[in-house]
Structure 1
Amino acid sequence: MRYLSLIFLLFILTTSFHKPGAQTAWIRINWLGYQPNGIKAAVWGSKINEPLKRFQLVEAQTGKAVYEHTAGNAFGTYGPFVQSYRLDFSGFRKPGTYYLKAGTVQSPEFRIGESVYDGTADFCLRYMRQQRSGFNPYLKDSCHTHDGYTMYGPMPDSTHIDVSGGWHDASDYLQYSTTSANATYHLLAAYRDFPGVFTDTHQANGLGGSNAVADVLDEARWGLDWLLKMHPKDDWLFNQLADDRDHMGMRIPKEDNFYGKGFERPVYFCTGQPQGLFKYKNRATGVASTAGKFSSAFALGYQLLRQRDPAYANQLQHRAQTAYVLGLQKPGACQTAPGRAPYFYEEDNWTDDMELASVELHNLAKAMGQPQGDYLAKAVAYARQEPVTSWIKNDTARHYQWYPFINVGHYELAKQLTTSQRRPIINYYKAGIETIWQKAKTNAFHRAIPFIWCSNNLTTSFAIQCYWYRKLTGDTQYAQLEQACFDWLFGCNPWGTSFVYGLPSWGDTPVDPHSAFTHLKNYPIDGGLVDGPVLGSIYKNLIGITLKDPDEYAEFQSDLVVYHDDYGDYSTNEPTMDGTASLIYLLAAKEAERKATRKK
């Protein structure tokens, strides 16, 4: 009798989490929609272990089932779900508005159409403009115009230098050369690779109006302007503006007066040695990680602007070369400087940055009609030192430990090599993708990107890596994984939310991000990509996180991973400037690919 009672108790415990009639299953879709000839998949997840045999695609207007298919194999537990299935309806191609139905569960409505991604890259540029320092076009006001005073440089500490401008980093007001140079490069590459995607509705200062320049190029030049200020002399290179004293309180950007020298903020010189003005220090080992990023952004900027603005392009050309020399002189990683908290960008790798710089200097020399020297040979040598981006191999990382989250140099290098020479470089990409795929294919979301801080940035970068591999090879064996990463960002995840503020306007997207703009003034931060989900173990050990409101996603949190659309959670819901810039490239690629397909 005692054993029967125990069995009965276990039955009650496993079935009583949901009240009779309560929803136990959900269908997660990409809120943006799906392209007719593209991969189309959703995920069904259930809180109870129930089987699913078939699903239907239903036309929203008529309520008529237009496609039916088997649900396929069960994938089992993932996050909050006890059972899950991947619903693939790629075989259906007719444009329209639909929803999926599986048993008694119905998905939100979504579109299938050629234009579902059109305008999305331009939309995300709104966030970049809102992050501008110096003159802020969203506020139609200026901020941080007195920056800044030097620290750790060859000049006396507290020497004034004009470094006003650039972008605020992550909805706070620190500014980092590493993230800014990476963002600038991605914007320039987006314009280079997909010029037909972008419109011209804003002036160079970010205010409305046409100036005969694509808005993405205007934004990239805003980044270049600031980088030139941060590398004002051949042997002067600065890594960071402000520090975490910035975090003393949320405020709309203005002139900050708490850094000890009027309205000026500290500017940290690239020394290649550990830095930190207070209790904590970083573990910097060199300058090349920052110098390489400067050099590649300047070199690509030269290639794109040399005919439009020759005098400006010449400045970029010179600084591309001087930054590269600094990287050669001081190999190693230049980490950001902590302040009063133990958090900083813990970048450990640098050969990827010098690889990309080497390739772009090769391209620059070619554009100038000059000898290309041994730049490609150097790039190949650097590529061999980091064949697979390290977070992929290690499945975890400290904050920004391996940055950027994609080795851009491999793609640019492979394009310059002969077929036989490029194969080893392409295989570096494939090895990383295969590593992720072997784990991702075992769950319904095809998810194996580590849930570390800024997991959405990693996801975006990895989707780009899959795209670049496919473009270089024509090999589509990882197309499902590539699309799954993209779908994850826009709603095909356990929480059923897009991770981009306001995109799409009809979807579930962040409304309460960790941002002063929304928290204090209810200003929309349109287009901002938030950090994304983190491991439950990471979340529980972070300092100073307290949710401000009841958790609307409480039913979908798990010991594995959490995400909160709450101002109090800076770990999962803080938008980032560099992540958004990478997403702009990815969205431009998605739109441009559709247009290229239609022309064939």
Structure 2
Amino acid sequence: MAVSAGLAAAVIPLTSAQAASATGELRADQVGYANHDTKIAYLMTSAAVSGETYRVLDAHGRTVAKGKVGKVSRGSWNAAYPDVYPVDFSRVTRSGSYRIVMSGPVKASSGRITVESGAALYGTLVADGVNFYQNQRDGAQQVKGALNRKPSHLDDARATVYQLPHFDANSDNGDIIKDKALTKIGGPVDVSGGWFDAGDYLKFTFTTAYADDLLFASARSLGRQAPASLTAEARFGSDWLNKMWNPATKTLYLQVGIGSGDAKGTFFGDHDLWRLPQKDDTDNAPADRYAAKNRPVFEAAAPGAKISPAIAGRVTAAFALAAQADAAAGRTAAARAELADATSLYVQADTHPKGDLVSAAPSSYYPESIWHDAMELGASEIVLAEQSLHRPRADYRPYLVQAATWAKDYLVGDSGKDTLNLYDVSALAHADLATAIRRAGNPSGLAVSRADLVGDLKAQVAKAAKASSADIFRAGGNATDFDVDSHTFGFISTEALYRQVSGDRSYQAFAGEQRDWLLGGNAWGTSFMVGAGTTFPDCTASQIPNLSGSLNGRAPLDVGAVVNGPNSTDFFSDGLGDLQDGTRKCEHDSFTAFTGHGSEYVDDVRSWQTSEEALDMTGSAILAGALQASVR
């Protein structure tokens, strides 16, 4: 994000009339700050100010800190807020509840600000994020929760396998099916359970595997401090992935369901309906035959054929991480079974892929362009699983060699293009490979060294930190592109992974700044995680929270859900469109007053651009919380 005015912008003195009419907004991390964090709030003003002061009040209204706000603005956000001033209250270190009150030309105050231990602060992100995953469950094993979840899509237990349909690449999302009907090629198969991918009811192996990798890695990082709900949810994910992989026939199923139907409306897809998921079990409408009760299953490749490495690597990692968890818990037989699943899938990966990488149907839903990172992650987790089971070095040496080779290929061809998120798992892969190498006694002859891996982790953090230093609100991500929240939580995770393997604390403050931006210290003054802070997404583009609760009452919150976050104003040029049939109106469009730097945020049930929840985005928050809570 470019700063439209330099960070050293000159202060133009106000006339007395201007000073009297200046208004402002105070932005701060609404969830809280760790005791010894650098603590910065931001005062957005309608005109340049000087002589502004602040006081920090404790829960009893007593002043515990005070100071002057600097005269130098960090830059202009938009025409309504041409100046933004940092308010540094880092001297407040004692745990407690506080409030910041501004005095001077601008009268503004913050909501409650909590100061607490890092473990407590980040532990909230983990617990709330797991709650979202529980709310995303499909099948019979439900956690009722505040959203009153009920069993759904029970017919997935005997689903039909269909040939991948032909999609019209020229349709709006490239997901309109050209075929008049789907072609049955197999089944029945049991693909019940799993998680809904986002605000819809599709289930993707690609995104589920990534999410499960993050949950298992989070539980592993927290160790005995991991909440039981986290380990249970990670296991719920791997149980479904085990249904999607058949080692006997060497078949990996790609997904359950289709997004859209055919061009003539002969049949519909999931995105054509707005309903609670349990309604599908009794939907016998002919046009809904593939969208509701009898959802199709597709293969990632023909039985026995090589499988796209981007998805094979992620699922392999999930199985191997499950094996590590089993081994740590003393469930040796289960660990061996999970490891066998991991190795059987790993060897089926197509490591000389041609054409588009397979991630979803259509691929436009999740267009993946790199794969060495996924294979590095899969091989690294196999090594760590073998080591957890105390296997001899000769058994895991081949996987260690291959993991290092994939890492080298990533460093040569892919490094610098992306950072930790659904499409790039290199940060987690690098850190775990570095651990595997250390546990193996730092053997020679590998394609990369631990120093190479640590160096790339540092480069990823350093690049984001440089962008952060130039941004008005210290954002390291690009708020004019999709998945900025996922990337930003990824920065927090990568900093912890880098610190873990290097001992370097140089970027610890940067990680805190990214958390602050995500949880309220941004231009919009909102947290991007439902239920976190005082202002948060309340009208997410998701069916279950939208339709839960009474029509005239407030719907319960989908606590823990992370939304996409701000996005380019270009994506809103045609408006939000009409409400889909069955959707309850919900909008908080006042955030558009804070549109700036080409970035817009809208809290509206129609705003898939900024307000849709998803597994990958919330998983990134869980991992960030777990790693930061546990790293030293």
The bucket for the TM-score relative to the shorter chain is: 0.7 to 0.9
Q: Tell me which moved more, 544-553 or 443-452.
A: 544-553
1:391/1:377 CA distance change after superposition, 3 Å:
closer
1:261/1:71 CA distance change after superposition, 3 Å:
closer
Letter in 2 for 1:109: R
Q: Tell me which moved more, 547-556 or 242-251.
A: 547-556
Q: Tell me which moved more, 429-438 or 524-533.
A: 429-438
CA RMSD of aligned residues (A): 3.2
Q: Secondary structure at the match of 2:603?
A: coil
Q: Match for 1:313 among 335, 349, 361?
A: 335
Tell me the matched-pair count.
Answer: 543
| CA distance in structure 2 between the partners assigned to 1:389 and 1:545 by the alignment | 44
Unaligned runs of 5+ in 1: 1-14, 200-213, 273-284
Letter in 1 for 2:535: D
Q: Secondary structure at the match of 2:65?
A: strand
Cα deviation for residue 541 of structure 1 reads 6.0
Cα deviation for residue 119 of structure 1 reads 4.1
Does 1:498 find its partner at 2:527?
yes
1:325/1:194 CA distance change after superposition, 3 Å:
same
Q: For residues 532-566 of structure 1, give each alpha carbon's deviation from its aligned partner in whole angstroms, at most 9, with x where no partner exists.
A: 11111233368857796461213212351111111
TM-score (norm 1): 0.83
Letter in 1 for 2:437: L
Q: Secondary structure at the match of 2:277?
A: coil
| Contact 2:59–2:98 (Cα < 8 Å) also in 1 | yes
| CA distance in structure 2 between the partners assigned to 1:323 and 1:432 by the alignment | 30
| CA distance in structure 2 between the partners assigned to 1:388 and 1:26 by the alignment | 46
1:488/1:52 CA distance change after superposition, 3 Å:
farther
Letter in 1 for 2:137: R
Does 1:584 find its partner at 2:622?
yes
Matches within 5 A, 1:30-45: 30-45=29-44
Letter in 2 for 1:98: Y
Letter in 1 for 2:38: I
| CA distance in structure 2 between the partners assigned to 1:517 and 1:130 by the alignment | 8
Q: Tell me which moved more, 444-453 or 244-253.
A: 444-453
1:265/1:20 CA distance change after superposition, 3 Å:
farther
Q: For residues 364-395 of structure 1, give each alpha carbon's deviation from its aligned partner in whole angstroms, at most 9, with x where no partner exists.
A: 22233132122222222211222399696379
Does 1:226 find its partner at 2:240?
yes
| Contact 1:393–1:435 (Cα < 8 Å) also in 2 | no
Q: Match for 1:349 among 370, 391, 399?
A: 370
| Contact 2:359–2:366 (Cα < 8 Å) also in 1 | yes
1:231/1:541 CA distance change after superposition, 3 Å:
farther
Cα deviation for residue 162 of structure 1 reads 1.1
Q: Tell me which moved more, 410-419 or 182-191.
A: 410-419
Q: Match for 1:540 among 573, 585, 607?
A: 573
Matches within 5 A, 1:276-355: 287-306=308-327, 307-328=329-350, 331=353, 333-338=357-362, 343-355=364-376
Matched with 2:5 is none
Q: Secondary structure at the match of 2:151?
A: strand
Does 1:510 find its partner at 2:543?
no
Q: For residues 59-80 of structure 1, give each alpha carbon's deviation from its aligned partner in whole angstroms, at most 9, with x where no partner exists.
A: 3423425242553743112356
Does 1:190 find its partner at 2:223?
no
Matched with 1:454 is 483
Q: For residues 21-73 of structure 1, give each alpha carbon's deviation from its aligned partner in whole angstroms, at most 9, with x where no partner exists.
A: 77732121111111212222222222323356654433342342524255374
| Contact 1:287–1:331 (Cα < 8 Å) also in 2 | yes
| Contact 1:545–1:569 (Cα < 8 Å) also in 2 | no
1:19/1:172 CA distance change after superposition, 3 Å:
farther
Matched with 1:92 is 92
Matched with 1:203 is none
Q: Secondary structure at the match of 1:157?
A: strand
1:533/1:545 CA distance change after superposition, 3 Å:
farther
Does 1:142 find its partner at 2:139?
no
Matched with 2:251 is 236
Matched with 1:8 is none
| CA distance in structure 1 between the partners assigned to 2:87 and 2:376 by the alignment | 41
| CA distance in structure 2 between the partners assigned to 1:31 and 1:167 by the alignment | 29
| Contact 1:182–1:404 (Cα < 8 Å) also in 2 | no
| CA distance in structure 2 between the partners assigned to 1:335 and 1:372 by the alignment | 28
Q: For residues 490-516 of structure 1, give each alpha carbon's deviation from its aligned partner in whole angstroms, at most 9, with x where no partner exists.
A: 111111111111124xx1122111122
Cα deviation for residue 309 of structure 1 reads 3.8
Q: For residues 408-436 of structure 1, give each alpha carbon's deviation from its aligned partner in whole angstroms, at most 9, with x where no partner exists.
A: 10111122335892111111112222222
Matched with 2:297 is 267
Matches within 5 A, 1:168-207: 168-199=196-227
Letter in 1 for 2:505: T
| Contact 2:539–2:587 (Cα < 8 Å) also in 1 | no
| CA distance in structure 1 between the partners assigned to 2:565 and 2:291 by the alignment | 36
Cα deviation for residue 163 of structure 1 reads 0.6
Letter in 2 for 1:64: T
Cα deviation for residue 297 of structure 1 reads 0.8
Cα deviation for residue 140 of structure 1 reads 5.3
Matched with 1:249 is 273
| Contact 2:474–2:517 (Cα < 8 Å) also in 1 | no
| CA distance in structure 1 between the partners assigned to 2:473 and 2:115 by the alignment | 20
Q: Secondary structure at the match of 2:312?
A: helix
Q: Secondary structure at the match of 1:38?
A: coil
Q: Tell me which moved more, 484-493 or 542-551.
A: 542-551
Letter in 2 for 1:551: D
Letter in 1 for 2:436: Q
Matched with 2:459 is 431
| Contact 2:50–2:71 (Cα < 8 Å) also in 1 | no
Matched with 1:382 is 406
Q: Tell me which moved more, 581-590 or 408-417.
A: 581-590
Matched with 2:115 is 112
Matches within 5 A, 1:389-428: 393=417, 403-404=423-424, 407-418=427-438, 421-428=449-456
Letter in 1 for 2:514: C
1:391/1:552 CA distance change after superposition, 3 Å:
farther
Q: Secondary structure at the match of 2:81?
A: coil
Cα deviation for residue 108 of structure 1 reads 1.8
Matched with 2:564 is 531
| Contact 1:56–1:67 (Cα < 8 Å) also in 2 | yes
Q: Tell me which moved more, 490-499 or 155-164.
A: 155-164
Report sequence identity in percent. Answer: 25
| CA distance in structure 2 between the partners assigned to 1:343 and 1:81 by the alignment | 37
Letter in 2 for 1:464: S
Matches within 5 A, 1:564-583: 564-583=602-621
Q: Secondary structure at the match of 1:581?
A: helix
Matched with 1:29 is 28
| Contact 2:496–2:628 (Cα < 8 Å) also in 1 | no
Does 1:82 find its partner at 2:54?
no
Matched with 2:598 is 560
| CA distance in structure 1 between the partners assigned to 2:125 and 2:292 by the alignment | 41
Matched with 2:265 is none
| CA distance in structure 1 between the partners assigned to 2:216 and 2:627 by the alignment | 13
Letter in 2 for 1:124: G
Q: Tell me which moved more, 186-195 or 91-100.
A: 91-100
| CA distance in structure 2 between the partners assigned to 1:34 and 1:87 by the alignment | 14
1:232/1:386 CA distance change after superposition, 3 Å:
same
Q: Secondary structure at the match of 2:348?
A: helix
